[in-house]
Structure 1
């Protein structure tokens, strides 16, 4: 079957930016493809990831789930290699191969011995730019995808998050689940996959990220050889959605717990504002946080609860998730609303100090993990056009004081949340939830 990549041609040289300390060096090819090189001289292994700015947030209703299908199918054959050959070529080198799809990107990973890094780049270039999407492999993989869809559909926690996204973003693409819909998985054709790659896999939508002992000049030549023929496409973007809110619920037979997800709109990464990240760490990270300290440690209302700032380039969500017994759901939501309201009144210095230090430790640990370090650099390049330094990140976090956090809680509570409950759902949930949240001054239309 024909390859998707165009024939190679003479190309101008790449441009390379300098970097200080442990920050990645960036090289940009003439077609807009970028290399992010994290030099780890002492490493015996190397990690190579290809990030493509194509995810469920870039899809229409008719193409929902297509990025995820392509992620599966690129491993099923290229213009020169079968699926069996792809697997063998990686595994005979001892390499780990993986991939994932998110709302804002798709990524393909290989990790193995540092001496094989050039081969990893070449192999990833082959599967990303020249997938053949054989029909027989597609029909087999379609069944695998449908099994995955059924598992996801039966998971009450995943269901709660999908309901929450729909309450948050309505008909916007960010509300669509990465896995798509059953109907789309059943009807997608090979032509849909080919068209997706041709429209989205190229230019500034691709970042090749490498962590290991190889130098940037050598890696740039490898990336040029593997990705230099990619088309110079326009950058993919996601429009900023309008936050909706309200309550969604779904009872799921066989579930004995109630799973809730509550959240609020916060600015996207383009705003360069770290307040939501600090607020989430302050509210729900660690047993001394208000969320876990009150709901779990003092009241025994939950086993698991967490707060996070899920921030994409165009929009963000401050998210609280928890699982509780159905009989304790009312008390859990009441106490959750009360704790949120307390943060809008006052942020204690010790809580702010804890949040700052927890974020710092998390960031430093991420710098020690190649996969997370590469993803951070790639997403920075997609969103900001550059890889932010640790010093810049520290300054951004340090600038978030207690007043900024308190003001964010005030704005979130005034605007009202989106709330989703799945699993064991008590009767009359919506009206009862509106009433008990209103008693805490929290509107949930």
Structure 2
């Protein structure tokens, strides 16, 4: 086990009073302890640097299937025993798969955190993926996939990612493809785990009244025999851009997703994050005020800046009656173009304060903080000080945020529509974008 080190946040104690301590096992497994001594509970997670980003079209969905199957039995415990062991400690057990990682979680009493590390280690390291359980779970995942395919929001996002990234695995949906899910074998699952689940790609993290030494000792027992491997790296995608639509029978609304590339996590991305907050954070934001309050075009609309290790996306989305799509696109493209010309001081003040409060709310969510810290370690090799983000956002001027909008609008735009899509909608969308000189269309 390596020497522990800590990242101690500086500055306003209201932002962060805790510290993150880090230890590294000989095989590369990293152990993070986020000290929150005021909490009687602990959240413990094992993060693995593998997800749909690390798949091919021929294997799309395997990360998600592995996550489901990991709880179906290990070399020493049945599925039923796994659940009982957790519940005897009053613990919650869960997992999720994302584009860039898979994570396994337990939450319970802080004193039981080392036991959670051991239980999660058993699930991650020693899954047996029984054939009979795979057949049953396959049906469950296929039902989940059918629901996802029927959802206009999910469909629009899958189409949007396709137009953003083309053949790059960043475009692959986390839930996977029906063909792959229907044909995956136990041997393929086990081979995938042996290849992807290695020490260089694992972070064991806990938040609560926990001690690094006891966590690292538990992690050593659970993970020290894991092969070291090498980091699961992927070449960054190129943002392509493009417009597309998919009509879905039975849908009553059209869901529209539009977006532009922004810098990745290690690059200067804070101006784009602030731009998204200026544009769509809160009911008084230009997006909500114009689209919902003044025009009544859509009940739901939002804007976000999603920043990953390899890329970033500035996304504006909304659901509306198909008769209002043209009006919506004219309004939203006009708003984007106006923000590239200038930002009002009050808009920047509002957005800055909302991001500050969002950061504080995130600080109250141990699981959210664990995920951020683990992904920082995987992407940057360090855990960012919360003040680093806060200071970078606070230092932005109105001119810099306005320039971020101008930079966005020069990039190739990706736009997707799904649900009840009227004939000619894409041609009219292209005209609306071209009228504002957006995205090179």
Q: Decide: shared fold, TM above 0.5.
A: yes
Q: 2:5 matched to 1:17? A: yes
1:443, distance to aligned residue in structure 2 (A): 4.4
Residue number among 334, 337, 342 corresponding to 2:338 in the alignment:
342
Q: Distance in 1 between matches of 2:109 and 2:333?
A: 50
2:311 aligns with: 315
Q: Distance in 1 between matches of 2:111 and 2:159?
A: 46
1:188, distance to aligned residue in structure 2 (A): 0.8
4+ aligned runs moved over 6 Å, structure 1: none
Q: 2:184 matched to 1:198? A: no
- Partner of 2:90: helix, strand, or coil? coil
- Partner of 1:269: helix, strand, or coil? coil
Q: 2:86 matched to 1:90? A: yes
- Post-superposition Cα deviations, 1:266-319, rounded to whole Å, max 9, x if no partner, equal 111121431221111111010111110111111111101100011110111100
- Unpaired runs of 5+ in structure 2? 9-16
Q: 2:395 matched to 1:395? A: no
- Partner of 1:15: helix, strand, or coil? coil
Q: Distance in 2 between matches of 1:346 and 1:434?
A: 24
Is residue 7–residue 383 contact of structure 2 (8 Å, CA) maintained in 1?
no
Q: Distance in 1 between matches of 2:431 and 2:387?
A: 46
Please show how residues 358-437 of structure 1 align to structure 2 within 5 Å: 358-437=354-433
Q: 2:138 matched to 1:138? A: no
1:157, distance to aligned residue in structure 2 (A): 0.5
Q: 2:278 matched to 1:282? A: yes
1:161 aligns with: 157
Q: Distance in 2 between matches of 1:59 and 1:242?
A: 17
RMSD: 1.2
Q: 2:108 matched to 1:112? A: yes
Q: Distance in 2 between matches of 1:28 and 1:266?
A: 32
Q: 2:61 matched to 1:73? A: no
Q: Distance in 2 between matches of 1:14 and 1:314?
A: 28
* Number of equivalences: 433
1:161, distance to aligned residue in structure 2 (A): 0.4
TM-score, with structure 1 as normaliser:
0.95
1:299 aligns with: 295
- Post-superposition Cα deviations, 1:21-51, rounded to whole Å, max 9, x if no partner, equal 4121111111111111011212211110111
- Partner of 1:147: helix, strand, or coil? helix
1:223 aligns with: 219
Is residue 7–residue 385 contact of structure 2 (8 Å, CA) maintained in 1?
no
Q: Distance in 1 between matches of 2:18 and 2:236?
A: 33
Is residue 273–residue 396 contact of structure 1 (8 Å, CA) maintained in 2?
no
Is residue 275–residue 405 contact of structure 1 (8 Å, CA) maintained in 2?
yes
Is residue 31–residue 232 contact of structure 1 (8 Å, CA) maintained in 2?
yes
Please show how residues 235-274 of structure 1 align to structure 2 within 5 Å: 235-274=231-270
1:444, distance to aligned residue in structure 2 (A): 6.0
- Partner of 1:107: helix, strand, or coil? strand
Is residue 418–residue 444 contact of structure 1 (8 Å, CA) maintained in 2?
no
1:264, distance to aligned residue in structure 2 (A): 0.3
2:350 aligns with: 354
- Partner of 1:307: helix, strand, or coil? strand
Instruction: Report the more deviating stretch, 222-231 or 118-127.
Output: 222-231
1:404, distance to aligned residue in structure 2 (A): 2.2
- Post-superposition Cα deviations, 1:206-241, rounded to whole Å, max 9, x if no partner, equal 111101212111111111111111111111122111
TM-score, with structure 2 as normaliser:
0.96
